[in-house]
Amino acid sequence: MGGLLTPVVPAQDKKPDNLPQLLNATPLGAVAGQTTKVVLRGKRLDEVKELQLNGQATAVKILSKGKAAVPQKQDANRAGDTQLEVELSLTPDAKPGECELIAVSESGRSMVFKLLVDAQPVATEKEPNDGFAQAQSIEIGATIEGTLHQPQNVDVFRFDGQAGEKLVCEVIAARRGSALDATLTLFDSRRRLIDTADDLPSDAAIRDDWSLRDARLEITLPSSGAFLLVLQDANDLGGPAHPYRLRVVRATK
């Protein structure tokens, strides 16, 4: 099934329990001028008849829909128990930002789900990279798109830096609907711990606001050489509902 760009209209007055829910997407974004295959997980998506678009998308095609297994010990209300596989096309002049998706079933419309829009393709995580010896090499300035595929999975990245460089290592996941509760840990080339980060800097609100659970590490490199950055889930969970983006950039201040 497919649907062309359709104007978004106010949601029907239906009980929330009857409506489809879009919870997360893998990958987290689509690229301007390209057709991107996206897996959307959520609730009651097997009942969806149409996806409506708002913003910079030109067309969306539903490739498949159905039930989706919920990984052990995970909450279906966060990980989703149904999914849609879709092809999403963006206009060549789409600007970096977001496009909006709404799932439509006979029961009504979902709330708006926002998918990232990228001007250029984002680098992808390459498996295996689940240990120091298999660390994936990246450059400072890179953004990596990946997934923690299973419980107790870790993704390890290696980059070279200079003493005194100020870096920001940041995960984008929970704020985009991912079930990932990320932690970041930085080691030097001799595997000595330098620093670690869990949730975004905040206060006790983190306990109640899942979107604040993305890790952000601000660090001044203590020496020159290679560094190892480990990304994992704080609760050792993982699976198809754990997509992320990792940014390693020089601090602007």
pLDDT in tens, 140-162: 999 999 999 999 999 999 999 99
Whether 12 has a pLDDT exceeding 90, the answer reads: no
Q: Which tokens sit at 85?
A: 């596989």
d(C-alpha 76, C-alpha 3), whole Å = 27
Whose tokens are 């609760």? That residue is: 235
Cis peptide before 27 (omega within 30 of 0): yes
Structure confidence at residue 73 (pLDDT):
84
- The predicted-structure confidence for 186-218, as pLDDT tens digits, reads as follows 999 999 999 999 876 555 444 556 677 899 999
In the block, tokens 């080339």 appear at 189
Query: Beta partners for 22?
Result: 42
Query: Rounded CA gap, 57 and 7, in Å?
Result: 12
137, pLDDT greater than 70: yes
Choice between 36 and 93, residue whose per-residue pLDDT is larger: 36
Give, for 30, the enclosing helix (H) or strand (E): strand 29-31
Please tell me the pTM assigned to this model.
0.88
- The dihedral through the CA atoms of 55, 56, 59, 62 has a sign that is negative
Which distant-in-sequence residues (6+ apart) come within 8 Å of 49 by Cβ?
1, 104, 105, 106
Query: Are 228 and 156 contacting, i.e. CB atoms less than 8 angstroms apart?
Result: yes
Indicate if the pLDDT at residue 13 is higher than 60: no
Q: How confident is the model at residue 1 (pLDDT cuts 50, 70, 90)?
A: very low
Express as a percent the part of the chain with pLDDT over 70.
Answer: 87
Mean pLDDT value across the chain: 90
The answer to whether 84 and 65 are in contact (CB under 8 A) is yes
Is the predicted pLDDT of residue 35 greater than 90, yes or no? yes
Sequence-ordered strand ranges (E) for 77-181: 82-90, 97-105, 108-109, 113-118, 123-124, 136-137, 143-147, 154-161, 166-172
Question: Strand 193-197 vs strand 243-250: parallel, antiparallel, or unpaired?
Answer: unpaired
DSSP 110: P
Q: pLDDT at position 15, please? A: 53
Structural domains of the chain, with CATH: 2-118 (2.60.40.10), 123-250 (2.60.120.380)
107 versus 94: the higher-pLDDT residue is 107
Q: CB count, 10 Å around CB of 124?
A: 12
145 has which bridge partners?
124, 245
Omega before residue 128 within 30° of 0, cis: yes
